[in-house]
Amino acid sequence: MPQASTKERRLNIRCDEQTRALLDRAAGHARVTLSEFVLSRAVQAAEQVVRERESISLPEADFTAFLTALDAPAEPSPALLRAARRHAADVESA
């Protein structure tokens, strides 16, 4: 049997009467407590935001092109080589 997690943190939010009534009705329709309803919907939204901001999706052709580019990187440009030399000199003198 899965072990229930202990809820140790409290989250307080304020809302107007209409919003509270709407949330109460929705929780009733879902047959859960108001806290369970609000928390579950907030977690779903948070997971979606994090997923959208922390992952990259590419069409298969673009992903293949990306992998090909990784396997055969371009030669460094003269400007990049100069920047690398300046950086190495700065690190050595520090």
- In this predicted model, what pLDDT tens digit does every residue of 16-69 receive, in sequence order? 999 999 999 999 999 999 999 999 999 999 999 999 999 989 999 999 999 999
pLDDT of residue 7: 79
Residues 43 and 73 placed together within one structural domain of the fold? no
**Position 84 in a domain:** yes
Per the structure, the complete domain to which residue 75 belongs is given by 59-94
Q: Is the pLDDT of residue 80 over 70?
A: yes
Strands (E), 26-86: none
Tally of CA atoms within 13 A in the half-sphere of 7 that contains its CB:
5
Q: Residue 15 contacts by C-beta under 8 Å, 6 or more apart in sequence? A: 23
**Position 4 in a domain:** no
Q: How many domains does the chain have?
A: 2
**Position 43 in a domain:** yes
**Position 39 in a domain:** yes
**pTM, to two decimals:** 0.59
